[in-house]
Amino acid sequence: MENSEIIYGKNSVMEALIAGNREINKILISKNIHTDVKIAKIKELAIQNGVVFQFVGKEKFQPYAEFNHQGIIAQVSPIKYIELEDFIAQKSEEFRSLVILDGVEDSHNLGAIIRTCVCAGVDGIIIPSRRNVQVNSIVEKTSAGAINHIPIIKVNSLINAVQKLKDNNWWIIATDASANDNYYDVKYNDMNFVIIMGAEHAGVSKSLLKASDFIVKIPMQNDFNSLNVSNALSAIIFETLRQKLALKNNNSNR
Amino acid sequence: MENSEIIYGKNSVMEALIAGNREINKILISKNIHTDVKIAKIKELAIQNGVVFQFVGKEKFQPYAEFNHQGIIAQVSPIKYIELEDFIAQKSEEFRSLVILDGVEDSHNLGAIIRTCVCAGVDGIIIPSRRNVQVNSIVEKTSAGAINHIPIIKVNSLINAVQKLKDNNWWIIATDASANDNYYDVKYNDMNFVIIMGAEHAGVSKSLLKASDFIVKIPMQNDFNSLNVSNALSAIIFETLRQKLALKNNNSNR
């Protein structure tokens, strides 16, 4: 398989099989690992889907020693990125949400962000094709397979992407430590919205802040302004969900 | 220094100096690193506090090659754990909050949790002395120095700790994926409360669930129930803060 990627770990391999949106060339399982529920499930799914799996000696895992591979790897096609235009054009009966990552550098953070977005029902993640960590094996592993459950949109220019979204009636919400408004002051229910998270150190770039409709902060309770980017996003994105579910609940009680 | 620990990275060393609650034996800075704002600040603080710092060849960092030490390490006294009884006995004019970690195994998660708790103004973190990751160099580094800004309470038995808290009029809130209530259904404003977060896989142990006053979940929007523990905590803890700040804001408007 040309351009194939290695994914590793039980969850990553299992979720790739369940999602079924990526070509899986081969699964290698170490002879030395115990067959637990997940490994059994992986075998079952592989057989159903006609995917080859082989039990191999642990020496086959030598090249991946630096990764926490749990004795299982798979050779898969790279994730398919979605075009922003195609994403925007999709019909939806409900308002949709996006997250833009502006220069997130750490693979573990990107993996955790993908998990949070999938759990909270975010509809897609936009990353720039430069100055940002790309989807690699560590991201796949840290995301615990969540990467297969959410569209990843890669764009050459974030500012162009934001402009395109604005032209299509999306609202842009950037985060910045010096903002006046708190993230929970925004009403997220009646619009398509994008949350922009900045780099771990530099924050959201000036041009994007300028293009935003809202700039919000997380109120810090100590003189210690250093929330991890995935935890900051989690606070914000679950607040948007809280508002959305509260509204649905109110409507169904009428 | 007996029982000393090595902390590494610019933020860890700087925050240890700022907090000033730990004895710092010596700071080693690599001759090969660029003196940026943080290094300059560290030098300034070290001089103010009479802490020895030395510029050394990079070979001194060889034993710490596996860590992202950024060319700076310090030899410090271990963090001082707080006794639960002392914590409970502290006088406070406002209601207080605690987080209990029941079997969190990953050092990076513990570090991220500590940062989140400090940013959100949580008053302390309880960890069990066994079956949980302890505060180590990776935790110190991942916490970006936040570890120096929050009491860490180590207990032999979590269930005894919970009982003691209940006896002192604290309310116990455990998280569990199969709970009926959502985390934002609880009113956090008029009580001292503890949030119990479970192990990455096993969740909160049965005995603690049984001892809890509330059991809450985070509503998941996809058939993918695998939120990272630090991100789950972030969603919950910032909701408690949102409620608290909303109340303060209402009161000041009266």
- CATH (domain of B9): 3.30.1330.30
Let me know whether A24 and A115 are in one domain.
no
Residue B62 in this model has a pLDDT that exceeds 80: yes
Contacts of A146 in chain B (CB under 8 A): 224, 226
- Does any CB of chain B come closer than 8 Å to the CB of residue A68? no
Domain stop point among A24, A46, A76: A76
Of all residues in chain A, the one with the smallest CA distance to B200 is A144
Give the model's pLDDT for residue A199.
Answer: 84
As a whole number of angstroms, the distance between CA A192 and CA A252 comes to: 22
Question: Which residues does B216 contact at the CB level (< 8 Å), separation at least 6?
Answer: B173, B174, B175, B176, B179, B181, B182, B183, B185, B186, B236
DSSP B62: G
Q: Tell me the H-state helices in B49-157.
A: 84-89, 107-120, 137-142
Let me know whether B88 and B27 are in one domain.
no
User: Residue A250: what are its φ and ψ, rounded to 5°?
Assistant: -60, -45
Task: Give me chain B's average pLDDT, please.
Answer: 90
Give the model's pLDDT for residue A133.
Answer: 77
DSSP A82: B
Let me know whether A25 and A111 are in one domain.
no
Residue B2 in this model has a pLDDT that exceeds 70: no
3-state secondary structure of A216: strand
Residue A87 in this model has a pLDDT that exceeds 90: yes
Give the model's pLDDT for residue A122.
Answer: 97
Let me know whether A201 and A101 are in one domain.
yes
Give the model's pLDDT for residue B162.
Answer: 98
Q: Into how many domains does chain A fold? A: 2
Pick the most confident of A101-105, A138-142, A244-248. Answer: A101-105
Please, which pLDDT band fits residue A253 given cuts at 50, 70 and 90?
low
Pick the most confident of A141-150, A170-179, B17-26. Answer: A170-179
Of all residues in chain B, the one with the smallest CA distance to A230 is B231
Let me know whether A219 and A235 are in one domain.
yes
Contacts of A145 in chain B (CB under 8 A): 224, 226
CB of B240 within 8 A of CB of B188?
A: yes
Give bridge partners of residue B214 from the DSSP assignment.
B173
The ipTM is: 0.84
Let me know whether B22 and B116 are in one domain.
no
Let me know whether A120 and A222 are in one domain.
yes
3-state secondary structure of B3: coil
Mutate to test the interface with B, among A125, A200, A217, A242 (most CBs of B within 10 A): A242
Domain stop point among A14, A48, A76: A76
Please, which pLDDT band fits residue B253 given cuts at 50, 70 and 90?
low
What's the gap in Å between the CA of B114 and the closest CA on chain A?
10
pTM value is: 0.86
Let me know whether B53 and B152 are in one domain.
no
Instruction: Please give the average per-residue pLDDT across B103-128, as a whole number.
Output: 93
Q: Which residues of A93-109 are buried (b: 16+ CB within 10 A; e: fewer)?
A: eeebbbbbbbbbebbbb
Range of the domain at B237: 84-253
Give the model's pLDDT for residue B105.
Answer: 85
What's the gap in Å between the CA of A198 and the closest CA on chain B?
17
As a whole number of angstroms, the distance between CA A108 and CA A111 comes to: 5
Q: Which two tokens stand for residue A252?
A: 């169904």
Instruction: Please give the average per-residue pLDDT across B74-95, as a whole number.
Output: 91
What's the gap in Å between the CA of B170 and the closest CA on chain A?
21
Residue B251 in this model has a pLDDT that exceeds 80: no
Residue at B105: amino acid letter: E
Q: Of A241 and B64, which is predicted with more confidence? A: A241
Residue B254 in this model has a pLDDT that exceeds 60: no
Q: Radius of gyration (Cα) for chain A, nearest Å?
A: 20
As a whole number of angstroms, the distance between CA A29 and CA A44 comes to: 14
Let me know whether A92 and A69 are in one domain.
no
What's the gap in Å between the CA of B234 and the closest CA on chain A?
6
- Does any CB of chain A come closer than 8 Å to the CB of residue B55? no
Of all residues in chain B, the one with the smallest CA distance to A231 is B231
Let me know whether A159 and A190 are in one domain.
yes
Let me know whether A46 and A130 are in one domain.
no
Q: Which of B80, B86, B112, B89 is nearest to B99 (CA)?
A: B112
Residue B167 in this model has a pLDDT that exceeds 80: yes
How far from each other are the two terminal CA atoms of chain B, in whole angstroms?
56
Please, which pLDDT band fits residue B211 given cuts at 50, 70 and 90?
very high
Q: Which two tokens stand for residue A242?
A: 């809280």
Task: Give me chain A's average pLDDT, please.
Answer: 90
- Does any CB of chain A come closer than 8 Å to the CB of residue B228? yes
Of all residues in chain B, the one with the smallest CA distance to A221 is B121
Of all residues in chain B, the one with the smallest CA distance to A240 is B235
Pick the most confident of A61-65, A91-95, A136-140, B173-177. Answer: B173-177
CB of B108 within 8 A of CB of B207?
A: no
Q: What is the pLDDT of residues B40-50, one digit of tens each?
A: 999 999 999 89
- The CATH number of whichever domain residue A187 belongs to comes to 3.40.1280.10
Is B119–A227 a contact, with Cβ atoms under 8 angstroms apart? Answer: yes
Residue B185 in this model has a pLDDT that exceeds 90: yes
3-state secondary structure of B127: strand
Let me know whether B50 and B93 are in one domain.
no
Mutate to test the interface with A, among B227, B240, B248 (most CBs of A within 10 A): B227
Q: What is the pLDDT of residues B213-224, one digit of tens each?
A: 999 999 999 877
Q: Using CB atoms, which residue from A149, A222, A224 is nearest to B222?
A: A149
